[in-house]
Structure 1
Amino acid sequence: MTAFVLVPGSWTGGWIWQEVAARLRESGAEVHPVTLTGMGDRQHLAGPGTDLETHIDDLVRVIDEVRDPQLVIVGHDYGIHPVLGAADRRPDRIARIVYLDAGMPQDGDAALQLADQSVRDLLLGPAGPEDADRPVPAPGPDGWQRGGSVAGLTEEALARMTRLAAPQPRATLTQPLRLSGAIADLPTTGVLCTANGTSIALLQALVGLGDPRLQPLTDPRVSFFDLDTGHWPMLSAPEELSAALLAAAAGEGHRLSAAAAERPAHLEPFVLDVPERPRERVGAVDLYRPDGDLPAPAIVFVHGGPVPAGARPTPRDWPSFTGHAGYVAGLGAVGVTVDHGLHGLEDFAKAAENVAAAVELVRADPGVDGDRIAIWYFSGGGPLSAEVLAAPPTWLRCVAATYPVLAPLPNWGMAADGRFAPAVAVQSAGRLPIVLTRVELELPEIATTVEGFLAAAKDAGAEVEVIDVPGGHHGFDTVDRTEEARAAVRHAVRSVLEHLRS
């Protein structure tokens, strides 16, 4: 027999687990859906002192009342904060912690601290000292996407969520989580909702970049499951979620591989054989100059991310970027690589400033024709393209993007229509040429952003040339040693150079 404690996220209550709880009970499990103080049918109990510690105390009481000596405790979204706090106080009672489409808060983190500033402003509004006890209102029918992807939810489910939602006591979101470290050795499982922006494949790729913050995820006591749905799987995929929870309780699930001694994918050789060329390093910028007449047009290559601050080599020395830069230099343009400092989701604004500074440095170079510039974005650097798509400068002749992320992923905690939303910005791109290289085997959560961008571009009449890579993977320019991959790189470079020279 397994006992589950199911803890809901923001604005919801124990009611949200109804279908999952029924399925778990059918399997013979003991199930305890929790409604936290101030939420659901307990919203009348909220008061000025209702905070995260209140919710932790709620769960500690539940744990103490359950007869089963070992519990699987599940935290959805915000619910992982009180789950971790309660498990920290009763670690001997917890058999496994399940992160259901939730972040990984650490000691000292508040729930809203992990969200983008624009989302915090949206949720909290203009709050002064007099608003400290004002609850955070629940979303309206069209507002649930600010908390995560609504993929898979029926209109009826959304209407029910809206009808039963309760305002969230403000201090539950703003009070820091305090942990002693007692849960460090407890088994954990992550249930990832791919439509909300995370998958096992994406996590494995991030681990491969060497981010020390993710190394604990390679511990054999940590397992993962993917669910092909949005942020509320208890409503959109209750059968699949129930099966995942039962399998997690049994110790099953996918394990991530630790970064091995062999060369990671992003450090594999560039797909084209490019003669090595000298480079000129100016701060965070490297210039690969052509042999022909100067001044020459320039292409600035913008790497993806987030990339751990301690990753070595840094992105401007990765084979994809040195290869691209050297290749275009051999064809008569200045190739430029830059380390722009996108180390975390909170760094997009800083990275945008660093890219803009790099472009200005390049334009001022006497060997560069400052009125013939292209900017080429890769992977997680794609959202940075919104800066120039929204208001294309006269010197920008082309924007290119290769296996890009073209919208903030739902679980990034960033406004979907904010500063770094290319699908919104492209509506103002006018006749600016855009060259987009997409891969057939793209990660689904990224492919969705590309589809949305192309739909928006079509509606706006933007000029987008799409280059498809059959059988191509994310990072195909180093991981796929195929003629299709080589042809795609040559095609994309040729198109960008044509726009620079026209």
Structure 2
Amino acid sequence: MAVFVLVSGPFTGGWVWREVVTRLRETGAEAYGVTLSGMADGSEPPAVAAADVDLERHVEDVVGVIDGIGADEEVVLVGHDYGIHPVLGAADRRPERCARVVYLDAGMPGDGDTPLALVPDASVAERAGGAGGAVPAPSGGEWARWGSTAGLSAADLARLDRMAVPQPLRTLTQPLGLRGNPFDRPVTGVLCTANGSGIAMVEMLLASGPPEFRVLAGPRVGFFELETGHWPMLSAPGPLAEVLLRAAADEGRRLTVPDGPPSARTETFLLDVAERPRERRGTVDLHLPEAEGPWPAVLFVHGGPVSPDRRPTPRDSPTFLGYGAYLAGLGAVGATLDHRLYGLDAYPKAAEDVAAAVELVRADPRVDGERIALWFLSAGGLLAADWLAAPPPWLRCVALTYPLLAAPPDWRAVPERFRPVEAVGASSPPVVLTRAGLEHPVFQATVDAFLVAAGRAGAEVDLVDVPHAHHGFETSDHTDETRAAVARAARAVLARLRV
């Protein structure tokens, strides 16, 4: 039987695993719920000052547990939330002892990543400055900000309140140091569906997400789902113990990268677009009409996250080269940009880039600065929130194509400001929304919620449906239906610009 080493998320210690440990041991397996330095339960003061604890010390704690297990035992390391960071650090230092790593409702950190990037509110680092170098533990309803509390009873929440302790700040701000690849060993992902994670989300990332997610389709990677919130060791200890035993037995659903659309990208745009003059201004490209100006302008905003090393960059991809030239051919400046959406915590930086690009476009003497539209695609849709909530008078239209309009619950690093579902209102500019009929369920749910919110607020929405199209259809689904949808959306945007 495997030996399970269980490492919990922030503010908690080994006590949180008590019921899971009991169930695992009842099957004959051995299990240890680890209490990391400074994380003893709240019934007594911590033995170590928060200022003396960092991520490296927590890694050493887990290494110490591994070293105390018999050399012939098979060790399965389980990291929940923040706990995946010390787990990966320990697995990296004792690779010969680690038979498997289980990501329990956790992110995918790599070498150099800080846990702070995955917390729901990065400003906790600033607030912790006056709290003895520690982030105060949440209480009551605050727990929901750190993950879904679905499945937790009132007694469970009271237990969290009573036992939780402050999280040493340096455990969140110190970068994780890894020498090897975390996926060079068997890996299991356990996804808590009530927290927004699920196999459908992973399949979406494999189909159309950044290339780095392709490791999730590896032959030694398996997945399980639990229908509960972010603390399954409290809300579903029995099912969690069963899943951990199955993971140790190398069970779990294997995923593959889809062979067909939308991963089968082409190197051309879906429309046959004539080339137009293009000027590069830093991170912004201007695709220019041939007619006399001043012209209205449409700024296209790509999704992400994208790697800063991605080549070609979004504005040089077939999709944005195509959109820019197409709008120029229709008599408007088609502006494209590369913004800094390099991670889920980077939406504020990306928003700054979009605002700067808008000002650059409006300042061009060939552009009519009073006739501007913003066109957001995919997860770039979250960046539309500011413009929907407080539109300037010159913003005539917001276009959204297969957008994400509310952050999934497990995208906790996305600031609350970026929620178009909540931002849309009666004062929002007209919206042209292109909806893909074969959209990822996670994205589609946010589109449905947006349409409900817009209807209640009396916002103007021109809906362009593409029933047989996938997410990212411009370079995968070259059909009469998708070509007509792009043309219709463009006409709808231009109609608002010409009023």
Q: What range is the shorter-chain TM-score in? A: 0.7 to 0.9
Equivalent in the alignment of 2:62: 59
Shift of 1:76: 0.3
Shift of 1:280: 1.2
What is the one-letter code of the residue matched to 2:249?
A: A
Gaps of 5+ in 2: none
Deviates more, 1:396-405 or 1:485-494: 485-494
TM-score (normalizing by structure 2): 0.84
Equivalent in the alignment of 2:76: 72
Is the counterpart of residue 403 in structure 1 residue 402 in structure 2? yes
**Structure 1 residues 309, 29: closer, same or farther in 2, change over 3 A?**
same
Q: Secondary structure at the match of 1:320?
A: helix
Whether the 8 Å CA contact 2:200–2:442 is kept in 1: the answer is no
Shift of 1:70: 0.9
Whether the 8 Å CA contact 1:403–1:474 is kept in 2: the answer is yes
Equivalent in the alignment of 2:278: 280
**Structure 1 residues 41, 338: closer, same or farther in 2, change over 3 A?**
closer
Deviates more, 1:3-12 or 1:134-143: 134-143
Q: Secondary structure at the match of 2:6?
A: strand
In 1, the alpha carbon distance for the partners of 2:377 and 2:141 equals 32
Whether the 8 Å CA contact 1:297–1:369 is kept in 2: the answer is yes
Equivalent in the alignment of 2:31: 31
In 1, the alpha carbon distance for the partners of 2:97 and 2:142 equals 37
**Structure 1 residues 438, 263: closer, same or farther in 2, change over 3 A?**
closer
Deviation digits for residues 329-349 of structure 1, max 9, x if unmatched?
Answer: 444433222222433334433
In 2, the alpha carbon distance for the partners of 1:155 and 1:76 equals 22
In 2, the alpha carbon distance for the partners of 1:484 and 1:159 equals 55
Is the counterpart of residue 345 in structure 1 residue 344 in structure 2? yes
Whether the 8 Å CA contact 2:266–2:476 is kept in 1: the answer is no
Whether the 8 Å CA contact 1:194–1:444 is kept in 2: the answer is no
In 2, the alpha carbon distance for the partners of 1:138 and 1:156 equals 17
Equivalent in the alignment of 2:14: 14
Whether the 8 Å CA contact 2:208–2:471 is kept in 1: the answer is no
Equivalent in the alignment of 2:95: 91
In 2, the alpha carbon distance for the partners of 1:282 and 1:183 equals 39
Deviation digits for residues 122-158 of structure 1, max 9, x if unmatched?
Answer: 3651615xx4x35322212221233234455566644
Whether the 8 Å CA contact 1:266–1:320 is kept in 2: the answer is no
Equivalent in the alignment of 2:315: 316
In 1, the alpha carbon distance for the partners of 2:154 and 2:455 equals 27
Written as runs of structure 1 = structure 2, the 5 A alignment for 1:368-387 is: 368-387=367-386
Whether the 8 Å CA contact 1:197–1:446 is kept in 2: the answer is no
Whether the 8 Å CA contact 1:372–1:397 is kept in 2: the answer is yes
Whether the 8 Å CA contact 1:35–1:42 is kept in 2: the answer is no
**Structure 1 residues 44, 377: closer, same or farther in 2, change over 3 A?**
same
Which residue, 458, 464, 478 being the options, matches 2:475?
Answer: 478
**Structure 1 residues 493, 33: closer, same or farther in 2, change over 3 A?**
same
Whether the 8 Å CA contact 1:198–1:445 is kept in 2: the answer is no
What is the one-letter code of the residue matched to 2:40?
A: M
Whether the 8 Å CA contact 2:381–2:405 is kept in 1: the answer is yes
Whether the 8 Å CA contact 2:43–2:163 is kept in 1: the answer is no
Whether the 8 Å CA contact 2:261–2:477 is kept in 1: the answer is no
In 2, the alpha carbon distance for the partners of 1:439 and 1:217 equals 25
**Structure 1 residues 325, 180: closer, same or farther in 2, change over 3 A?**
closer
In 1, the alpha carbon distance for the partners of 2:168 and 2:47 equals 7
Gaps of 5+ in 1: none
Equivalent in the alignment of 1:167: 166
Q: Secondary structure at the match of 2:384?
A: helix
Written as runs of structure 1 = structure 2, the 5 A alignment for 1:12-411 is: 12-21=12-21, 23-25=23-25, 27-37=27-37, 38-40=39-41, 44-48=45-49, 49-67=52-70, 69-112=73-116, 114-115=117-118, 119-122=121-124, 124-125=126-127, 127=129, 131=131, 133-151=132-150, 153=152, 157-179=156-178, 181=180, 185-193=184-192, 196=195, 199=198, 202-203=201-202, 206=205, 213-214=212-213, 217=216, 219-227=218-226, 229-236=228-235, 238=237, 241-255=240-254, 264-267=263-266, 269-271=268-270, 273-283=271-281, 284-290=283-289, 294-411=293-410
**Structure 1 residues 73, 39: closer, same or farther in 2, change over 3 A?**
same
Deviation digits for residues 231-275 of structure 1, max 9, x if unmatched?
Answer: 33334555554444333212234556579999944546444x333
Shift of 1:198: 5.1
Shift of 1:373: 1.1
In 2, the alpha carbon distance for the partners of 1:215 and 1:431 equals 38
**Structure 1 residues 147, 296: closer, same or farther in 2, change over 3 A?**
same
In 1, the alpha carbon distance for the partners of 2:444 and 2:161 equals 29
In 1, the alpha carbon distance for the partners of 2:181 and 2:336 equals 45
**Structure 1 residues 90, 497: closer, same or farther in 2, change over 3 A?**
same
Whether the 8 Å CA contact 2:201–2:442 is kept in 1: the answer is no
Whether the 8 Å CA contact 1:85–1:177 is kept in 2: the answer is yes
Q: Secondary structure at the match of 1:382?
A: helix
Deviation digits for residues 15-72 of structure 1, max 9, x if unmatched?
Answer: 4335544554555433323333423367533331344455344434433444561111
Whether the 8 Å CA contact 2:277–2:289 is kept in 1: the answer is no
Deviation digits for residues 300-339 of structure 1, max 9, x if unmatched?
Answer: 1111112222323221233333333344344443322222
Q: Secondary structure at the match of 1:340?
A: coil
In 2, the alpha carbon distance for the partners of 1:310 and 1:174 equals 24
**Structure 1 residues 236, 443: closer, same or farther in 2, change over 3 A?**
farther
In 1, the alpha carbon distance for the partners of 2:35 and 2:291 equals 70
